[in-house]
Structure 1
Amino acid sequence: MFNSSKNEENKTQSKEIESIIGKGAKITGELVTSNSVRVEGKIDGSIESKSTLVIGKEALIKNKVQAKNITIAGQVEGEIIAHNKVELLQTAKVNADISTKSLKIEEGAVFNGSSKSLTEHKTAKINQKDKKQKTKSNNKNKK
């Protein structure tokens, strides 16, 4: 009667996605972008997007993910920070601490970790902390 896999596919597809990391891709390192990203592959490293991050059903992310909005259908291990909302779809397997303003967990999703609510004040502090760390890192690299 209901086709849950089609519904799930539609939820994780977005017309606004600007970059896609495909199923066969394996990345080690840091991905930083101001664009929206969809990940279907494996990333052993951090992801930071100023926009939307969609983690597909086959994806595996190990480390910190940070974006404005995050939708997860695959696996994440590490830390999740979303300045607006996080949505765990029914196929999501998350072993991470989540910090966000809004958290939605569908029935069937697996979530092991803690969650805390971000306020505007906390979000600003996180952004400032990240900028300071990047500045320090860039200064070290220039020496």
Structure 2
Amino acid sequence: MFSDSKKEKSPMETTSNQNIIAQGTKVTGDLVSEGDFRIDGQVEGNLRSPGKIVVGKTGFIKGTLVGTDAYFEGKFSGKLTLSGTLTLKSSAHIEGEVILGKLAVEPGATFNVNCAMKGAVKDIKPSDRQTPQTKQPEGSERTA
């Protein structure tokens, strides 16, 4: 009636991988992972991940960061490229060059960057550009 067999997950079946750089740890070089990153220590170099990147209050990245979404409470200096959202908490300090899809900033965060937003661009129609002085009331005509 009940089976004693248990399914064991192979290492390839794990659904979530999180890499942690703990406080007091300094990593110099390139880091590449398919999983998420939590950084409470220091990273000097290039970091690339399609997962979520979280930088805690004691975390610091100096270099290049390429990913999807990032959440900062700590510091960053360098080039940051995200296809998704950059979230800055009040303790965040970001300097350098930033290319991203969306930006969320809490009051108190430092954001000293050259920033380009590469999200969906909304076209502005010529009729949307008219100022109140140039709009004509319905039924009236303008003669020159």
Normalised to the residue count of structure 2, the TM-score between the two structures is 0.69
Tell me if the contact between 1:57 and 1:73 (Cα under 8 Å) persists in the aligned partners. Answer: yes
Indicate the residue corresponding to 1:94 in structure 2: 94
Query: Partner letter of residue 61 of structure 1?
Result: I
Partner letter of residue 63 of structure 2? N
How far apart, in 1, do the equivalents of 2:97 and 2:115 lie? 6
Structure 1 position 28 matched with structure 2 position 22: no
CA displacement 1:79-111 (0-9 Å, x = unmatched): 111111101110001112111110111100001
CA deviation string 1:48-95 (max 9, x = no partner): 111110011101110011111001110100011111110111000111
Report percent identity of matched pairs: 26
Gaps of 5+ in 1: 1-15, 121-143
Q: 1:19 to 1:107 in 2, by over 3 A?
A: same
CA distance in structure 1 between the partners assigned to 2:29 and 2:71 by the alignment: 21
Name segments (4+ residues, structure 1) moved above 4 Å. Answer: none
Aligned match of 1:67: 67
Structure 2 unaligned regions, length at least 5: 1-15, 121-144
Q: Determine the structure 1 residue equivalent to 2:109.
A: 109
Q: How many residues align?
A: 105
Amino acid in structure 1 at the alignment position of 2:78: G
SS of 1:113 mapped into structure 2: strand
Q: Which has the higher helix share?
A: 1
Is the Cα contact below 8 Å between 2:102 and 2:119 reproduced in 1? Answer: no
1:41 and 1:115, CA in 2 relative to 1: closer, same or farther beyond 3 A?
Answer: same
**Largest Rg, 1 or 2:** 2
| SS of corresponding position for 2:54 | strand
Return the alpha-carbon distance in structure 1 between the equivalents of residues 72 and 97 of structure 2. Answer: 14
Q: TM-score, normalised by structure 1?
A: 0.70
Taking only aligned residues, the RMSD between alpha carbons, in angstroms, comes to 1.4
Q: Identify the residue that residue 42 of structure 1 maps to in structure 2.
A: 42
* SS at structure 2 position matched to 1:108: coil
